[in-house]
Amino acid sequence: MTGKVTSVRARYSGPDTEKHTRSFGDKLAAEAWLNDERIRYESAPGSHILPELVDIPLKNLT
């Protein structure tokens, strides 16, 4: 006997190296959340550099 799926779990590893998990009532809501999280991280200031290098002036890195 197989059970009916009553929730969908979405998860990802963020740029903060933490695992983020959330449960939803359906797959569409889970995919929307994942997409929103991706957009939020991609548009965040400093999201394309290593966090430990944020406060170091560029001239000191070259």
Which amino acid makes up residue 35? N
What pLDDT is stored for residue 31 in this prediction?
95
Judged against a pLDDT cut of 70, whether residue 36 lies above it is answered with yes
| Ramachandran sector of residue 54 (left: φ over 0; alpha: ψ -120 to 50; beta: rest) | alpha
Quick one: what percent of the chain has pLDDT higher than 70? 81
Long-range contacts: 54-59, Cβ < 8 Å, 24+?
none
Domain membership of residue 54 (yes or no) is no
33-61 CB burial, b ≥16 within 10 A, e <16? bbeeeeeeeeeeeeeeeeeeeeeeeeeee
What pLDDT is stored for residue 29 in this prediction?
95
The total of structural domains in the chain comes to: 1
Q: Span 19-36, mean pLDDT?
A: 94
Judged against a pLDDT cut of 90, whether residue 11 lies above it is answered with yes
In which domain, by residue range, is 16 found? 8-46
Residue 10 has φ and ψ, to the nearest 5°, of -115, 140
